[in-house]
Structure 1
């Protein structure tokens, strides 16, 4: 065995597709499929290299997860490599002879797997656990991937859930009532200043939620319960006057969804809202706009042929056609 050792980092990257997990594989030029990863450059830590390689190869900004800790362990566990393995490597551009890769194996998550932030270097896809045996992947990747699918749910969950905050939940519910009271006012009762009043409600709720997020983080199911968590999403959904803050809310809500602390449909609807505000087509067809005849119709959709598949994965109980029909049937 050669004494030449190159430090590398690999990332088994997962994302929650509605209620099911999928793992990311890339198809580099050498053939077959692999987990993202590569060499650790001079001046980099393995953690830094792992995040860089994921971004370069997949276009995604990942979050690394901490290795498993005993149930009830009271201290935060820092994200780090789950394993370090010495892997025999053939000659390559960095070494003319066989050598070792001392591979730091990380586990990471992507909160918005359908919206990469950069162009990937390699073809990238997300595969369910059942598809792993049929992939053209190394045996060690198959073994590790199978094992990680068994633990990813608990690994991604909130490590130290916050205590339930009854006062915050009550205030969220109160603000939801204010939001809905102005929005659902019958057209005949709205008056000339209706849009101004709605804007005032939205600005007030946005400013309040901004303070909550800075102080407490996203108010998810664990912190405020499902009913009040719906109010958190609703305030963010209606924060159109501050698109940068709305995107911040999406990032936090998506992370809560990954951790099993938020409704997947809420994450999907806010994803659509933010994408449209930035001139991008929506993914789930949840946002409607008047067409040339004044009839409400879905705003542009990315890959419309598969929108119903995405809607089903994220837990919507209607196809796009059914949703549009029900939306148009409501007297607005």
Structure 2
């Protein structure tokens, strides 16, 4: 007699915190310890395992990952598509779906979360992002330990596509020209900011924003391998100064986060734009990069989420401690 076999799906979620990968685990109330998010496939409803993996990840962790294709050998000529990296039969005891011991045919996916501080929904279970060292000492099943340790070895290559074949010097030059125009008006002393200058300031920002929107629609986010570090900074700067179009700025935040994940953008720029968007949405910022004038007329950070941890988050992405940053901004404003 064949054993009872239920289809399940689980996902190992990874995110970059600055330049370091962490893996998302949930604390399971019934199994005990920490596991990758997962659950049963709704077979009677015709749910594919991939959809079940995404649904369970969102329900249990609050994150909707981008699933990755399994790695292919170097030189293989065709692109991979997202799917399970492994399919295994796991023994399971009696539960709400079977009153006897049975098997779970688990479809194991691997996914990435570009914005770990921006969950898509409330998690059903406690969530913990762990690095390689934490995983080694955490209360997790042996299968989670083995696969998690292996994935830490391969996630960087799996999540990061090949760099652009050749730099685009023409695009880089145009980006640098637009960055110079952006900074030209912003670096003028306050006394020189006549109504005519402010009108020009708005026009430059508008022209840059419209130009970048068309570029992104045609080619996607230009990364450092395509345009170089300075021109890549110009892409971020135009997005940072796109406040009049919050929908476009939000889209830029998402595209920049993917570029950071791929190693094609500076994590500091991702942090700055993420804070900019959150403050514009009247939400607590994460990295303390957005300053306002306080009641005493001094520059001070807009409200920060978990402020006691902000310097640790800033360190992860390569930003100076908050107090040093605020003091430098105040000196620049006074100068």
User: TM-score normalised to the size of structure 1?
Assistant: 0.97
Tell me what 1:234 maps to: 237
1:74 Cα deviation from its structure 2 partner? 3.3
Query: In 2, are the aligned partners of 1:257 and 1:267 still within 8 Å (CA)?
Result: yes
Deviation at 1:197, TM superposition (A): 2.0
- Can you list the C-alpha shifts for 1:220-264, whole angstroms capped at 9, x where unaligned? 112211111000000000000001110100101001111111100
Q: CA deviation at 1:203?
A: 1.3
Contact 1:2 1:98 in 2 (8 A): no
Partner of 1:123: 126
SS of corresponding position for 1:330: helix
1:38 matched residue in structure 2 = 39
Matched residues in 1 for 2:197 and 2:9: separation? 56
Q: CA deviation at 1:162?
A: 5.2
CA shift at 1:2, angstroms?
A: 5.0
For the residues of structure 2 that align with 1:272 and 1:131, how far apart are their CA atoms? 28
Where does 1:6-155 land on structure 2 (aligned, <5 Å)?
6-30=6-30, 31-41=32-42, 42-155=45-158
Q: Which runs of 5+ in 2 are unaligned?
A: none
1:189 to 187, 192, 196: 192
Q: Aligned-pair distance for 1:330?
A: 1.0
Residue number in structure 2 paired with 1:324: 326
Partner of 1:310: 313
What residue in structure 2 maps to residue 174 of structure 1? 177
**Superposition deviation, residue 160 in structure 1:** 6.3
Inter-partner Cα distance in structure 2 for 1:289 and 1:40: 49
Q: Matched residue pairs, number?
A: 331
Q: Deviations over 1:70-109 (max 9, x none)?
A: 2233332111111100111111111111111111111111
Aligned 8 A contact 2:33 2:139 in 1:
yes
Q: By how many angstroms is 1:59 displaced? A: 1.1
Query: Where does structure 1 differ by over 6 angstroms across 4 or more consecutive aligned residues?
Result: none
2: CA distance between counterparts of 1:215 and 1:19? 29
Distance apart, 1:152 and its partner CA? 0.6
Q: Distance in 1 between matches of 2:19 and 2:56?
A: 27
1:293 CA displacement:
2.0
- Contact 2:287 2:313 (8 Å CA) reproduced: yes
**SS of match in other structure, 2:209:** helix
Q: TM-score, normalised by structure 2?
A: 0.96
RMSD between superposed Cα atoms in Å: 1.3
154-163 or 25-34, which deviates more: 154-163
Q: For residues 241 and 61 of structure 1, what CA distance do their matches in structure 2 show? A: 28
CA distances 1:165-196 after superposition (whole Å, capped 9, x unpaired): 21111111111011001111122222123332
Helix, strand or coil: the match of 1:193? helix
Contact 1:76 1:159 in 2 (8 A): no
What is the CA deviation profile of residues 112-153 of structure 1, one whole-angstrom value per residue up to 9, with x for unaligned ones? 111212111111010000011211111000000000000111
SS at match of 2:114: coil
Deviations 1:9-56 (A, max 9, x none): 111110011111100010122121110111111222111111111111
Write the distance in 1 (CA, Å) between the matches of 2:318 and 2:170.
30
Tell me how far apart the structure 1 counterparts of residues 322 and 36 of structure 2 sit (CA, whole Å). Answer: 34
Inter-CA distance 115–285: structure 2 relative to 1 (3 Å threshold): same
